[in-house]
Each structure stands twice: as C-alpha cells, then as structure tokens.
Amino acid sequence: MNDDKKNANIYLDLLNDIRTDQKETRKCVDNLDKKVVLHIQKTEFELQAINKLDEHQNELLGEHIKGVNTLKTWCDEHAQQNDIRFDKLEAPGNWVKGTVKIATVLTGFGGLGYLIMKIFVGI
C-alpha cells in the first residue's frame, strides 16, 4: 500500500508541476500578447506619422512644381519679349539689306541699259 501512496504522491507532484508550468506558460503568453499589442500600436502611430510626412512632402512638391511652372512661364515671356526686341533691332538692318538688293538690281539694269545703248548708238 505504501507503493500505491508513493505512486499517487508522484502523480500528484507531477500534476502540480504541470499546473505550475502551465501558469508560467500562461504568464509568458500573456506578456507576449501585451508586447504584440504594444508593437502593433507603435507601428500604427509610426504609419500615421509617415502618412502625415508624405502629405506634407506632397504639398511641398506641389508648391515646387507651381514655382517651376511660374519660372518657365516667365522665361517663355522673356524670350518672346527678346524676340520682339531683336526684330525691332534687326528691322533697320533688314531695310538696309533690302535697299542694297534693290540698288544692286537697278545698277545691273542700268548697266545693261547703258551697254545696250552703247551697242545700238555705237553702231
């Protein structure tokens, strides 16, 4: 009978050890659950911060693009104004070139006329 009591005590001790291990395991699992929940919350806060930074960066990029477009418009307008100025500056030169061409043609006709007169008058 002593052996039966010893075996019963051994089983009770094993059962107590299992319960103790189960309680410790449960505490560890609960702690891990808390850590996971905290990690998820921290990650959510970080993602919200990243989204806010992305929105701010997009706003800055939009302002930059507006500035670049404004500068491009100014540059195009300045180029057009310069083209107009150059046309005005080149106008007298073009008049002179046209006049020289007309004078050259008239001189050629005059020389041809003189030659023809020389030929016919000289005959």
Whether 120 maps to a domain, the answer reads: no
SS3 track for 30-95: HHHHHHHHHHHHHHHHHHHHHHHHHHHHHHHHHHHHHHHHHHHHHHHHHHHHHHHHHHHHHHHHHH
Whether 111 maps to a domain, the answer reads: no
pTM of this prediction?
0.47
Compute CA distances 113 → 25, 49, 106, 117, whole Å. 124, 92, 10, 6
Whether 101 maps to a domain, the answer reads: no
Whether 53 maps to a domain, the answer reads: yes
Whether 75 maps to a domain, the answer reads: yes
String of DSSP letters for 4-40: HHHHHHHHHHHHHHHHHHHHHHHHHHHHHHHHHHHHH
| Number of domains comprising the chain | 1
Whether 105 maps to a domain, the answer reads: no
- Residue ranges making up the domain that contains 23: 1-92
Whether 67 maps to a domain, the answer reads: yes
pLDDT in tens, the chain (123 residues): 566 677 778 888 888 888 888 989 899 999 999 999 999 999 999 999 999 999 999 999 999 999 999 999 999 999 898 888 877 777 777 777 888 888 888 888 888 888 888 888 765
Whether 82 maps to a domain, the answer reads: yes
